[in-house]
Amino acid sequence: MNNCSNVRRHYLDNIRWITVVLVVIYHVIYMYNGQGIQGVLGKITNVDVQYWDVFQYAVYPWFMFLLFMVSGISSRLYLDNHSEKEFIKSRTNKLLVPSTIGLLAFQFIQGYFNTTLSTDSQALLSSLPLIGVYLILAVSGIGVLWYIQVLWILSIVLAFVRKIEKDRLWNLGEKTGIIAIVLMNVLVFGCAQILNTPVICVYRFGYYSAAFFLGYFVFSHEEVIEVLKKWFFVLLLAAIILGFVFCYKYFGGNYADAPVNRYPLFTSFGWFASIAFLGGAARYLDKTNAFATFMTKHNFGIYIFHYLGISIIAVFIGSRHILPAVFVYLLSLISGFVTSFVLYELISRIPFFRWAVLGIKKKDRSKNV
């Protein structure tokens, strides 16, 4: 077994920040999408079809799935050198605190912009007392924090699974070959059919738990990563073909909700794109430089704050139609990153708020969170 948990796997860091950059781009396009999705500003152009909206279809089935997979791998690497108790404490501090206490301490601001973009919410808030408005804004501020909420739950489940499993299943995962990896697509499809919450479609515990636990039990093995590296080009070709068919077939429809997000084409595209990205990153991106180190340090802050930056531009500029659409898109993208960097540097220096909003202590500030 060649796992060396003390050796930094730079490709995992690079996957995180690259994926987060894709999330920012996705949310810019999502904010002004022409597909009629509620809760965002929506279309600000005069064209009949916004063909660039296809970017949403090209990344949605796999980029968060990939993040959960990487989180599963990272959990194994952490637990190689820490106890379950330390793991739970760390994940609670870095995931649960920002997605609960952080809502009351800061994310109600995001909730304000979210409700401003929703006429139904505005009507509801006008009839509530101030404390009711504040609580509604706090809950509405969850937004992108759904990811760390789900990740915390999966981490707690993992801690209990380890006590029962005692590495028997994990050791078996080391022997996984390319045929088994391909067939795991069937498992992912099955998991996509269960534990899906109604109304709020992002809470897909079945689909994302498959990614997380496969990351932990299978892809945390360097032997399995070597298999992905060897078959990278075949996996990439499969992902491209499936992605093209998915985008062609469903463009213009609701790609994020049932029944589309439970179809075999959705899960197959999500699976092959994820393992192709993982294998490609391990093959070509297992290195770092000053820029990658900077992005790794800030990737959590970018994820937490980027949607606020996009929302600010949408509410104060995009909704007023005072600039051409291309400039609104560009300003939203810039604001997503700049707002994230500024807020991260500011809040990470303020006692209590750096813990409540980012889940970090002063001594942890220089670490990748």
Per-residue pLDDT tens for 218-271? 999 999 999 999 999 999 999 999 999 999 999 999 999 989 999 999 999 999
For residue 123, what pLDDT is reported? 62
Q: Is residue 40 part of a domain?
A: yes
Rounded Cα distance between 208 and 196, Å, is 10
Q: Is residue 269 part of a domain?
A: yes
For residue 200, what pLDDT is reported? 86
Q: Is residue 2 part of a domain?
A: no
Q: Would you give the distance in Å from CA 173 to the centre of its chain?
A: 25
Q: In this structure, which amino acid lies at residue 331?
A: L
Q: Is residue 3 part of a domain?
A: no
Alpha carbon distances (Å) from 93 to 5, 271, 299, 328, 347? 22, 30, 17, 36, 16
Q: Is residue 260 part of a domain?
A: yes
**Across-strand partners of 204?**
196
Number of domains in the chain: 1
Structural contact between residues 9 and 219, judged by C-beta atoms closer than 8 angstroms:
no
| Spans of the chain below 50 pLDDT | 1-2, 366-369
For residue 121, what pLDDT is reported? 66
Q: Is residue 1 part of a domain?
A: no
Q: Is residue 141 part of a domain?
A: yes
What residue numbers bound the domain in which 312 lies? 10-361
For residue 6, what pLDDT is reported? 66
Question: DSSP class of residue 80?
Answer: T
Q: Is residue 132 part of a domain?
A: yes
Rounded Cα distance between 135 and 131, Å, is 6
Residue 369, C-beta contacts closer than 8 angstroms, at least 6 positions apart: 94, 300, 358, 359, 360
**pTM for the structure as a whole:** 0.93
Rounded Cα distance between 352 and 240, Å, is 45
With DSSP H G I counted as helix, E B as strand and the rest as coil, what are the percentages for the chain, rounded to 5? Answer: 75, 0, 25
For residue 2, what pLDDT is reported? 47
Residue in the block written with tokens 């939203």: 332
- For residue range 279-323, list pLDDT tens digits in order: 999 999 999 999 999 999 999 999 999 999 999 999 999 999 999
For residue 7, what pLDDT is reported? 77
Nearest to 260 by CA among 209, 211, 201, 214: 201
